Structure 1
Amino acid sequence: MAWFERRQRGLSPQKRKEIPKGLWVKCDKCDAMLYKAELERDFNVCAHCGYHFKIGHQGYISLIMDPDSFTETDTDLRTVDPLEFKEKENYPDYMKRYQKRTGMMEAVVSGTGRIEGRLVSLSIHDGAFLAGSMGSVVGEKVTRSIRRSLDLEIPLLVVATSGGARMQEGILSLMQMAKTSLWLNRLSEKKIPFVVVITNPTMAGVMASYASLGDFTLAEPGAMMGFAGGRVIEQTIGSSLPEGFQTAEFFLTKGFVDQVVPRTGLRETLSTILSYFPDREKKEEPAPEAP
Structure 2
Amino acid sequence: MDVFLMKASYPLDELTIQELKALIQQSNTNENQDIALLLNADSWSNYESQGFVVLAYSEEDQLLGALSAIDLFGLNTYEWSTVVHPNYRRQGIGTALVQEFTTALVERGAAGDMGLSFHDVAGHQFLKQIGYEYNSSEATLQATAKPYEPAKEIYIRPFKEQDRDILVQLMQDGFGDMPEETDELISFNTTTLGRTLYIVEFKQKIVATVSIVENEAGLWVTALTVQQALRNQGIGSAILRWAKNEAHKKQQHKVLLDVEIDNINALSVYQKEGFTPLHQVDYFIKS
**How high is the TM-score relative to the length of structure 1?**
0.30
Structure ID, larger Rg: 1
- Structure (1 or 2) with the greater strand fraction: 2
Length-normalised TM-score, structure 2? 0.30
Task: Say which structure, 1 or 2, has more relative contact order (CA 8 Å, 6+ apart).
Answer: 2
